Structure formats: C-alpha cells, structure tokens
Amino acid sequence: MKFFMSAKISTICVPLVLTLMTGGLCAQNGPNRPPDVNGIGIDQKLNAQIPLDTMFRDENGASVPLRSFFGSRPVVLVPVYFRCPMLCSQILAGVVAGLRPLSLRPGRDFDVVAISFDPGDTPAEATLKRAQYSHSYSSRAGVKGWHFLVGSQASITAVMQAIGFHYRWDAANKMFIHASGVMVATPEGRVARYLYGVMYEPKDLKFSLVEASHNRIGSAVDKILLLCYHYDPKTGKYGAAILGSLKIGAILILIILGSALFLLWRGDLRKYRTEVKEEVTRL
C-alpha cells in the first residue's frame, strides 16, 4: 500500500515539479498553461513591505512577530510547507547548496526564514526541518540564523499576498500546488530580489544579499562585480552585463595607459632637466 501511495504521489508531483520550477509559471496566467496550475505562481512585488507585525510560532511554539527576524541583516525568505511530499525539500536543499560555498554566514551576515503556508504544520515539524537543513548546511555551525515558522491562515495569507506567492490546496490529491522560488529581503523587510527554481547559484544568492544589505556585507570585489552583472527579473538570475563590463574594461585600460604615459613623460622631463643642468654647468 505504501508503495502504491508513493507511486501515486510521484505520478502527480513529477510533472508538476517540472512545470512549477520553471520561470514561465511566474508570469501571468495564459491559455497555454496547464489547467491545474492556473492562478499558481509568483508575482514580483519588488520593494513591497512584508507585514512584520504578523504573528507566527517558532520552533519552540512561542508566538513571535515576523519582525523578530529582521532589523539588522538581510533575510532569505523561503515559502514552503513542512509536510510537502517532494518540491519543498528540493527548494530547501537548493538554498543550502547555494549558501554553503559563500563566505557569508547565517546568523552573522543574513538569516534564513522558512515560512510554512500550511496552517496544519506544527512547531514540532518546524523543529525537525530546522535541524535537518541547518545540519545539512554545516554539522558544526548549529541552528543559528535558521528559522522555521508556522502560523494561522490569516498570518500566512498576509505574508504570501505581500510577496506575491500564489498557491492552492488540491483536495483530491491532498497536497498544495505551488511554484518554487525564494525571496531576498532587506533588513527593513522590503522585498529586494526573487530567485526562481529549486537550485540557486551561489553568485545569485551572494549578489542578492549584498544588494539587499545596502552593501553593508560582502567584499569590495563583490561590489565591483555587481557593476559587471545585472539582475534579470524574468529569470531571477544575475547575468553578465556585457556593455557594462566593456565600459569598465575600457576605463581601466585608459587609466593604465594614462598612468604609463604620465610616467614616461615625467621620466623624459627629468632627463631633459638633467641635461640642461649639465649644459649650464659646462658653460
């Protein structure tokens, strides 16, 4: 029986995952979209204010306002649900894989806040997920900077509407249909970037965090590299800005050539003055 249930879930989930993890779902509804995912997706609401006074329960069951996890650092916001049979675990694993290579660290440079959009999820399930994914990120770093929250339908709706995340409960298959993606928010709780899919490039996460932090984190090199890349809202990725890179390269070449010419001119001037002095001395 367990085997047949797993087979049924896989039959349902695999086509949905392939559809929901693509950027195309994040646009408007259309006649060519599968009928079972109409209304599902992510609408970009850049600079939208997340309702930070909304109450949730943390892993210990304590009631806390969402602003408890904002204020000093940018936040990677992960909308998932903890009893999800497939897609959500891929999203969380993708966040871990994308963050692991970075020099930035959770709890020091940013926080990860996973919010369940299933009002039936419990603090106990949040605790298990927090332990699982924080340990997957680092077996020694502990759970600092990792937060998994559950809440009422009213709280969930307020936040999901604010970030443009649309999902639906499928009663027939007893699962939520939803898109895959994460948001990066500023310390003040404004949506700064959307990253789509289930795998997130370390470069995209790092640039998003550097920008969301108002350049308070990241190295000087990161900030220079941001000039060479631009964020594409359609794909949720940072691509090389070719023209910008060429302009920067041209400026650097001009600076180098100008410096070289100045040094040559200065050397010739010094040599000329020396020759003039020697000529005056002989006279």
Q: Is residue 118 part of a domain?
A: yes
Give the C-alpha separation, 267 to 270, whole Å: 5
Residue whose token pair is 């940018």: 74
Q: How many Cβ atoms from other residues are within 10 Å of residue 143's Cβ?
A: 17
Asked if residue 63 is part of any domain, the answer here is: yes
149 in a domain, yes or no?
yes
Percent of the chain with pLDDT over 90: 58
For helices 87-99 and 123-137, angle between their N-to-C axes, nearest 10 degrees = 40
Structural domains counted in the chain = 1
Q: Which are the contacts of 19, defined by CB distance < 8 A and separation ≥ 6?
A: 25, 34, 37
Across residues 155-162, what is the average pLDDT? 98
> Span 158-164, mean pLDDT?
98
Q: What is the pTM of this model?
A: 0.73
Q: Is the pLDDT of residue 1 over 50?
A: no
User: Residue 269's CB: how many other CB atoms inside 10 A?
Assistant: 10
Place of tokens 């998932």: 80
Residue 250 in any domain: the answer is no
* 81 CB-contact burial (10 Å; exposed 0-12 / middle 13-18 / buried 19+): buried
Angle, CA of 100, 209 and 105, to the nearest 5°: 40
Q: What is the pLDDT of residues 205-262, one digit of tens each?
A: 999 999 999 867 766 665 665 566 666 777 777 676 544 555 656 677 778 877 878 7
105: CATH: 3.40.30.10
Flag whether 69 is in a domain.
yes
Give the residue numbers spanning the domain of 24: 2-240
Residue 189 lies in a domain: yes
Nearest to 164 by CA among 77, 19, 48: 48
Instruction: Evaluate whether 75 touches 113 at the Cβ level (below 8 Å).
Output: yes
Q: Choose between 55 and 247: higher pLDDT.
A: 55
Residue 102 backbone class (left: φ over 0; alpha: ψ -120 to 50; beta: rest):
beta
Q: What is the pLDDT at residue 61?
A: 96
- Does 246 reside within a domain? no
- pLDDT score of 18: 45
- Token digits of residue 229: 């890349």
Q: Label residue 198 exposed, middle or buried (CB < 10 Å: 0-12, 13-18, 19+).
A: buried
Write down how long the chain is.
Answer: 283
- The reply to whether 276 falls in a domain is no
